[in-house]
Amino acid sequence: MDTEPTGRAVEAATVANLRDLGGIPLPGAGAGRSVRPGALLRSADLARHDPHTDPVLTGRGVQVVFDLRTTGEREAAPDVLPPGARPFVGDVLGSHPGVAPARLGELLADPVLAEQELGGGRAEQRFRDAYRRMVLSPGACSAYAALVQTAADSGTHPLLFHCTAGKDRTGWGAAVLLLLLGADHDAVRREYLAVNDAVRAQYAPLVRRFTDRGGDPEIAAVLTEVRPAYLDAAFEALAERWGDLERYAREALRVEAALDRLRAELAV
């Protein structure tokens, strides 16, 4: 059993895949430093959030909800914000709204469509391609730059960021924030993979209906989990275009001036 430090799952009845990144070690920020507990949260969307019966976000005092979804996703399943929280949108896939991470529900609802688009062993490659877009496309860079800048601002914490399932766009967002804060790659990978049980549980009813109607279980698995190959594709794209994280932060995200503030806010 892996006992290395990672984020912590937070129980919530109406918010899926809610995690607190607090406590993740930040050796690059200095010996003994880690992410400030309670300051940086990640989750699936808040479309089913009920702040009256499930006050976990209210109790934590969430100040900003940063939504990484496309316009279509936001319109189909609008967030229900906790009282007092301010919304912020950073659309990662706005220029590529047809890619699989933005269409999980649609593809799981239609086994024929899923087979047409993802069958024949193409599903995992489509996700690797999507991760490359999340690194390389100007729109994605703008969205993640806004996430970093927001996280670096005082008065935004606790900050909750999310996409639909809280695994792909949110997973890369968490990786970017953690690396810029000073986490090592092993810790980033552990946190990235730690969401799988929660996402599988979240989508289990849809997956059962999908496979009962003849859907390919492997396609369902690709759609509802994260895999090391996806994160590797993102890191490979970053290395090919910019060489290292520092150039990515400076030239793609243009957040170099915010890094000291980010670490001052979130590293303890």
Tell whether the model's pLDDT for residue 2 goes beyond 80. Answer: no
Angle at CA 167, nearest 5°, toward 149 and 233? 85
d(CA 49, CA 12) in angstroms, rounded, equals: 9
- Give the pLDDT confidence score for residue 4 in this predicted structure: 62
Residue boundaries of the structural domains of the chain: 8-254
pLDDT digits 0-9 by tens, 9-28: 999 999 999 999 999 999 99
- Give the pLDDT confidence score for residue 3 in this predicted structure: 53
- Give the pLDDT confidence score for residue 48 in this predicted structure: 97
pTM (two decimals) = 0.95
- Residue at token pair 């997956």: 207
Tell whether the model's pLDDT for residue 249 goes beyond 90. Answer: yes
Tell whether the model's pLDDT for residue 56 goes beyond 60. Answer: yes
Question: Domain 8-254, what fold?
Answer: Protein-Tyrosine Phosphatase; Chain A (3.90.190)
Q: What percent of the chain is modeled with pLDDT above 70?
A: 98
**Residues 6+ away with beta carbon under 8 Å from 150:** 64, 66, 88, 156, 159
Instruction: Quote the tokens at residue 266.
Output: 């979130």
DSSP secondary structure of 168-194? SHHHHHHHHHHHHHT--HHHHHHHHHT
141 is catalytic: no
pLDDT digits 0-9 by tens, 109-125: 999 999 999 999 899 99
pLDDT digits 0-9 by tens, 198-218: 999 999 999 999 999 999 999
d(CA 248, CA 240) in angstroms, rounded, equals: 11
Q: Which of 163, 178, 207, 249 is catalytic?
A: 163
d(CA 109, CA 215) in angstroms, rounded, equals: 9
Amino acid in position 235:
F
**Residues 6+ away with beta carbon under 8 Å from 1:** none
d(CA 115, CA 74) in angstroms, rounded, equals: 26
CA pseudo-torsion sign 2, 163, 146, 157? negative
In angstroms and rounded to an integer, the radius of gyration of the C-alpha atoms of the chain is 18
- Give the pLDDT confidence score for residue 99 in this predicted structure: 86
